[in-house]
Structures are given as C-alpha cells and as structure tokens.
Amino acid sequence: QVRLVESGGGSVQPGGSLRLSCTASGGSVSKYAMGWFRQAPGKERELTAAINWDDDESYYLNSVKGRFTLTRDNPRNTVYLQMTDLKPEDTAVYYCVGDRNFCSGHGCHPDEYRYWGQGSQVTVSS
C-alpha cells in the first residue's frame, strides 16, 4: 500500500512562493504517475499538475502554467510542487496523488488517482 505524506503548506502574500513536498512509502514514485489536485472552498477538486511515470508527459492547469512546476526526486522518493507568483485564487487545499496510470486534463476525475496525501492548506492573502 502506497502512502503519501505532504509537507510545506502555509500562508503567503500575493506574489510569494511556496514549495509543497510529497514523500512516498510502500512504493517508488519512479514507477507512478504523480500529481497534485487542489480544492478551493465551495469548489470541486481540480487537477493542477501531473507528470507521467517516465517524465515524458506533463500537465498543468492553464491558470498555473508558467508559475507552478512539478518535479520528481527519485532517490528521495519525493515529488515537489514549486509554486511561484502566487495569487489569492490559488488558495486551496492541495493533495498529492499517485497512480499506475496517467490521467491529465480538465476532465481528469479525482477517482482516476488511487493514492492520496492528507492535504496541505495553501493560503494566499495580503
């Protein structure tokens, strides 16, 4: 059973940066498609970023392109979501996800990813 543990959330002013970390146990991130969903208050969860197991394909929500970067550190069995130029509309709970199969795009349902982290609150406010 793969377990994902997140860290790095917090509060930041608009224009600031945060890095979320997601460390896996019970499985190797190098063998899984990994990604991040987010859920803002009153809204559905949306796939924010994802990367295929061999890093040959990636996806970013249009509103975060150029600001967010998902990377994978196989020796540390960890994936990261580097978030820069944060905006108030980025405020949400962010969830690390993993699955054998890669799902991307606006139509990717949360059920497509089997493994989930506990969620990390990111608040962007002045």
Q: What is the pLDDT, as a whole number, of residue 104?
A: 92
Q: Could you give the percent of the chain with pLDDT greater than 90?
A: 94
pLDDT of residue 44 exceeding 90: yes
pLDDT of residue 55 exceeding 90: no
Distance of CA 115 to the CA centre of its chain: 12
Number of H-type helices and E-type strands within the chain: 0, 11
pLDDT in tens, 87-124: 999 999 999 999 999 999 888 999 999 999 999 999 99
Given a contact cutoff of 8 angstroms between Cβ atoms, the answer to whether 86 and 16 are in contact is: yes
Q: Could you give the percent of the chain with pLDDT greater than 70?
A: 100
Phi, psi (deg, nearest 5) at residue 44: -80, 160
